[in-house]
Amino acid sequence: MKKVYLSMSSDIIHNGHIKIISKAATLGELTVAVLTDEAVAKYKRYPLIPFEERIEIIGNIKGVSNVVPQNTIGYEENLLKYKPDIVVHGDDWKIGFQAPIREKVIETLKSYGGELIEFPYTNDSNLIAIEKNARKILSMPENRRSRLRTLLNHKKCLSIMEAHNGLTGLIVEDTNVESEGEIRQFDGMWVSSLCDSTAKGRPDIELVDTTSRISTIHEIMEVTTKPIILDGDTGGLVEHFQFFVKTLERMGVSAIIIEDKVGLKKNSLFGNEVEQFQAPICDFSEKIRLGKLALSTSDFMIIARIESLILEQGMEDALTRAFAYVEAGADGIMIHSRQKTPDEIIEFIGSFRAQDKETPIVIVPTTFNTVTENEWEKMGVNIIIYANQLIRSAFPAMKKTAETILTNNRCQEADANCMPIKEILTLIPDAN
Residues marked active site are found at: 204
Residue with smaller CB distance to ligand SPV, 328 or 387: 387
Residue 193, interface with Mg ion (CB under 5 A)?
A: yes
When asked if residue 387 is in the footprint of ligand SPV (CB under 6 A), the reply is yes
Tabulate helix, strand, coil % of the chain (nearest 5).
Answer: 50, 15, 35
307 binds ligand SPV (CB under 6 A): no
Work out which of 231, 249, 299, 307 binds ligand SPV, going by CB under 6 A: 231
For residue 7, list its beta bridge partners.
33
Q: Which stretch binds ligand SPV (CB under 6 A): 29-37, 139-147, 189-197, 280-288?
A: 189-197
For residues 130 and 372, what is the distance between their CA atoms, to the nearest angstrom? 36
| CA angle centred on 372, ends 367 and 374, rounded to 5° | 145
Q: Which residue spans within 282-360 are E strands per DSSP?
A: 301-306, 332-335
Q: Which stretch binds ligand SPV (CB under 6 A): 133-141, 220-228, 264-272, 324-332?
A: 264-272
By C-beta, is 231 or 344 nearer to ligand SPV?
Answer: 231
**How do strand 301-306 and strand 332-335 relate by DSSP bridges?**
parallel
Which residues make Cβ contacts (< 8 Å) with residue 278, sequence separation at least 6?
260, 261, 262, 307, 308, 311, 313
Is 192 among the residues that bind ligand SPV (CB under 6 A)? yes
Nearest approach in angstroms of CB 257 to ligand SPV is 8
**Under rule CB under 6 A, residue 394 binds ligand SPV:** no
The sign of the CA dihedral 257, 369, 160, 346 is negative
What 8-state DSSP symbol labels residue 229? E
Residue number, nearest CB to Mg ion: 193
CB atoms within 10 A of CB 15: 11
Query: 250: how many CB neighbours lie within 10 A of its CB?
Result: 14
**Binds ligand SPV (CB under 6 A): choice among 269, 290, 294, 405:** 269
192 vs 254 by CB, closer to ligand SPV:
192
Which of Mg ion, ligand SPV, none is residue 388 near (CB under 5 to 8 Å by kind)?
A: ligand SPV
Smallest distance from the beta carbon of 130 to ligand SPV, in angstroms?
37
Site for Mg ion contains 108 (CB under 5 A): no
Contact between 337 and ligand SPV (CB under 6 A)?
Answer: no
| 148 lies in the site for ligand SPV, by CB under 6 A | no
- What would the x/- binding string for Mg ion be over residues 227 to 246, using CB under 5 A? ----x---------------
Residue 100's Cβ-side half-sphere holds a number of Cα atoms within 13 Å equal to 10
C-beta contacts of 264-268 below 8 A and 24+ residues apart: 264/205, 264/206, 265/204, 265/205, 265/206, 265/233, 265/234, 266/204, 266/205, 267/194, 267/204, 268/307, 268/310, 268/336, 268/338
**194-223 positions binding ligand SPV, by CB under 6 A:** 194, 204
Residues that bind ligand SPV (CB under 6 A): 192-194, 204, 231, 267-269, 364, 366, 387-388
